[in-house]
Structure 1
Amino acid sequence: MMKILQALFFPPEQPGGVSSMVPYINQKFQAMGWDMELFSLPKRIRGKGTEHHEFATFDWTQYSGRPVVDKYMQTLRDYLWFARMRLRNASYDLIHAHHPIAALVMRRLFPDTPVLMTVHSSYERELVLNGRIEDQGPEHRFLTSLYRELEHQTNMIITVSHSFKSYIAQYVDRPEDIRVIMNGFDPNRFKPVENVNDVPQIVTLCRLVPAKGLDVLLQALSIVKKRGHAFVLHLIGDGPIRKELEEMAIRLGIYDETIFYGYMLHPEELMPFFDLFVLPSRAEAFGNVFAEAALCRLALVGTDVGGIAEQIESGVNGLLVPVDDVHALADAIEKMLTDGEFRLRMAHAAYERAKEKSSIARVIGDLEEVYLSYRASYI
């Protein structure tokens, strides 16, 4: 059987997203008899790398001197420094990277080994939405140039939604070659329960950054409260705008209805006891948390954007609203809170769809097909 390296950026013990999904993939393949291991950059490794790095498709030095670019390049050097030391005597039949830095470093260290790259999210869009870089500015151009570099340096680009494939297409030469494999989750992690609370319990789970649209959520809930509806909002996660959100909740008169949990290691253990999951993101490549909430059998309300719209069919297994539309979000939440039969129907439909479409078994099958297509390279 093939020997495969799954190259992460964040350590696998990090909660959420890629860092929680890939270890499950690794375990499933190992249980099937595959020789597979994980690699990531420890959080303590900072400022160690000194090797010069050049890209094949663009000159990154034209963007140097800007904090985002300089930090990105230093992180690449750090990853290269650690990987060169840690993987000095290693050999693999295939490498599957889950971050651009991991893919570029692995190509440099293993030039004769097939390297696949799954692009899970758009760092540049997150930075723009969070107000850290300017749209179409130099940092944005640097980060979007990496897509063509990845196309040049890897054997295959995979991404997690058709929407995100369309986004990447504008930055590469052969968009038709991009493969879409939507994320999947181990259903054993989730323990849905039949649960209806006297006061509807709303939950959202994300990093507290502007890109997640939590300001829109709080404004919408203030409208819902003014319409006379009771609720409790459970806001799980932490981030740089937590204090701003707390102050906003006070100003809008919904602080008493809002619980700020901060960081939580295993939120899926708590989520089944809520009634409704809401996250009005301004952008999502896939939106793992919607699939996870669905597997907890929660009703879903999200924005009609990116991978969210590929998981929710509005009125069938949840509700979709336009990005930044406070009143539409308030109306959707009100519908879910006041029509218990509709909410339960949406929750069960979301659960059934997630079991079918977001199964880890489906992901394993898709990846196995891709991996085996490279067997000829080492037979």
Structure 2
Amino acid sequence: MNILQALFFPPEQPGGVSSMIPYIQDRFQQMGWQMELFSLPKRVRGKGQEEVVFETFDYHAFEGDPLVDKYIQTYRDYVWWTKLRLKKTYDIIHAHHPIAALVMKQLYPDTPVMMTIHSSYERELILNGKIEENGKVHQFLTAIYGELEARVDKLLTVSESFRTYISPYVKEAADIKVIPNGFDEKRFKPIAHENEVPQLITVCRLVPAKGIDILLHGCAELKRRGHPFVLHIIGDGPIRPELEQLAVELDLYDDIIFYGYMLHPEEFMPFFDIFVLPSRAEAFGSVFAEAALCWLALVGTNVGGISEQIDDGVNGLLVPTEDPIALAEALEKLVTDSSYRYNLARSGWDKAKQVYSLQRVIAQLKKVYVNTLRQAE
């Protein structure tokens, strides 16, 4: 079987999708399946000229907004690049971005195309203060879910909570299959270590949706309670200067290290003790599973895919969003009790290895591919 994995970002980009797909490709190739990766390079901008047509709505009603116009131009660019680069046929195309899915179905109408919806672009834009809820761009982006349902052969997503999130925008949410992300446990090597001062780590893009401002306020409260720690922040983004200034204002700057972007943080992560990320929304939250496989204790917010990964008090701790005091109290439990921290981390590792193994994903995808191809015959 010859399968194309159609991405949006190149596979070397950070994030759950990009870090997972090359490992999926490797496993399938080991089984004798042919699998290629395809994505739109960042240098390809403003090349496409073809008109875009959606079946379920008229996007022209949303034209004039810079984000909508950029989305449509990116669609055109993906069409242009795909026509330029792909000259062969495939048995199945598995897309990981709405533009990739819709373009592939347009250009390969007789090939089964499936799409895994990994996250909510519109929700991220709202939380990052870029668009208004129920505004023009929000309506456009949520209409894309219905377009995907109408045109692609199979929809998948990464968590039950995200399937619930998109259910108002599709006709048959029950038909969307949930396959959580999976990780090659060989990439993660827990290291026995003893840190005299608890080491906290977070890994994310520095945008408002990730709640790092809440993390800093929570850490300030932890410091006021007299608990020493070091917080390591791996990642970059537009609000980094604001966060650095907030760290100064909260008298935290000497307790925090800002690293910027790092391609393979999992190589660094096992030396720390606690992974913490108070996201305001997460479709899945791959970094929690990655941290668990590094044998770190987990602290996250009770939202989306995070709450599906963490059983509060069993393999990590859950706190409400926008609550730095609750976050500080959760961290306090872990920094003051190394045995409790160890037990949570061990349980987290056990669950991640059992539930989020790459082998499980391979088995589920193989079944979906075979069934999809059989239905198309």
Task: Place the TM-score, normalised by the shorter chain, in its bin.
Answer: over 0.9
Q: Secondary structure at the match of 1:328?
A: helix
Output aligned runs, 1:149-228, within 5 Å: 149-228=147-226
Q: Secondary structure at the match of 2:298?
A: strand
- The residue aligned with 2:369 is 371
In the alignment, structure 1 residue 76 sits paired with structure 2 residue 81: no
- The residue aligned with 1:24 is 23
Identity %: 63
Displacement after TM superposition at 1:17 (Å): 1.6
Q: Secondary structure at the match of 1:374?
A: helix
Q: Secondary structure at the match of 2:365?
A: helix
CA distance in structure 1 between the aligned counterparts of 2:200 and 2:161, rounded to whole angstroms:
27
CA distance in structure 2 between the aligned counterparts of 1:147 and 1:204, rounded to whole angstroms:
31
Conservation of the 8 A alpha-carbon contact between 1:317 and 1:349 = yes
The alignment yields a C-alpha RMSD, in angstroms, of 0.8
Output aligned runs, 1:1-379, within 5 Å: 2-87=1-86, 89-376=87-374
Displacement after TM superposition at 1:377 (Å): 5.5
Displacement after TM superposition at 1:115 (Å): 0.4
Q: Secondary structure at the match of 2:169?
A: coil
CA distance in structure 1 between the aligned counterparts of 2:373 and 2:340, rounded to whole angstroms:
49
Provide TM-score, normalisation by structure 2. 0.99
Encode CA deviations 1:266-297: one digit per residue, 9 max, x unaligned: 11111000000000000000000000000000
CA distance in structure 2 between the aligned counterparts of 1:303 and 1:342, rounded to whole angstroms:
19
Conservation of the 8 A alpha-carbon contact between 1:283 and 1:305 = yes
CA distance in structure 1 between the aligned counterparts of 2:350 and 2:192, rounded to whole angstroms:
14
Conservation of the 8 A alpha-carbon contact between 1:93 and 1:378 = no
Q: Secondary structure at the match of 1:170?
A: helix
Encode CA deviations 1:127-150: one digit per residue, 9 max, x unaligned: 000000001100000000000000
Bigger mean CA deviation after superposition, 187-196 or 226-235 = 187-196
Q: Secondary structure at the match of 1:310?
A: helix
CA distance in structure 2 between the aligned counterparts of 1:74 and 1:279, rounded to whole angstroms:
34
Encode CA deviations 1:197-221: one digit per residue, 9 max, x unaligned: 0000000000000000000000000
Encode CA deviations 1:299-329: one digit per residue, 9 max, x unaligned: 0000000000000000000000001111100
Conservation of the 8 A alpha-carbon contact between 2:112 and 2:373 = no
Conservation of the 8 A alpha-carbon contact between 1:100 and 1:117 = yes
Q: Secondary structure at the match of 2:69?
A: helix
Conservation of the 8 A alpha-carbon contact between 2:8 and 2:97 = yes
Conservation of the 8 A alpha-carbon contact between 2:112 and 2:152 = yes
CA distance in structure 1 between the aligned counterparts of 2:220 and 2:13, rounded to whole angstroms:
33
Distance of aligned partners of 1:378 and 1:69 in 2 relative to their CA distance in 1, 3 Å threshold: closer
Encode CA deviations 1:7-42: one digit per residue, 9 max, x unaligned: 000001112221111111111101110011111111
Conservation of the 8 A alpha-carbon contact between 1:318 and 1:347 = yes
CA distance in structure 2 between the aligned counterparts of 1:40 and 1:223, rounded to whole angstroms:
44
Displacement after TM superposition at 1:378 (Å): 6.8
Displacement after TM superposition at 1:375 (Å): 3.3
CA distance in structure 1 between the aligned counterparts of 2:120 and 2:93, rounded to whole angstroms:
21
Displacement after TM superposition at 1:374 (Å): 2.6
Encode CA deviations 1:84-117: one digit per residue, 9 max, x unaligned: 1111x31011100000000000000000111000
Conservation of the 8 A alpha-carbon contact between 1:195 and 1:275 = no
CA distance in structure 2 between the aligned counterparts of 1:114 and 1:378, rounded to whole angstroms:
7
CA distance in structure 1 between the aligned counterparts of 2:372 and 2:248, rounded to whole angstroms:
57
**Equivalent residues, number:** 377
Q: Which amino acid aligns with 1:69?
A: V
Q: Which amino acid aligns with 1:65?
A: G
Q: Segments of 4+ in structure 1 off by > 6 A?
A: none
Conservation of the 8 A alpha-carbon contact between 2:112 and 2:376 = no
CA distance in structure 1 between the aligned counterparts of 2:11 and 2:272, rounded to whole angstroms:
27
Displacement after TM superposition at 1:193 (Å): 1.1
Q: Structure 1: where are the runs of 5+ without partners?
A: none
Q: Which amino acid aligns with 1:311?
A: Q
CA distance in structure 1 between the aligned counterparts of 2:304 and 2:348, rounded to whole angstroms:
18
Q: Secondary structure at the match of 1:95?
A: strand
CA distance in structure 2 between the aligned counterparts of 1:254 and 1:34, rounded to whole angstroms:
52
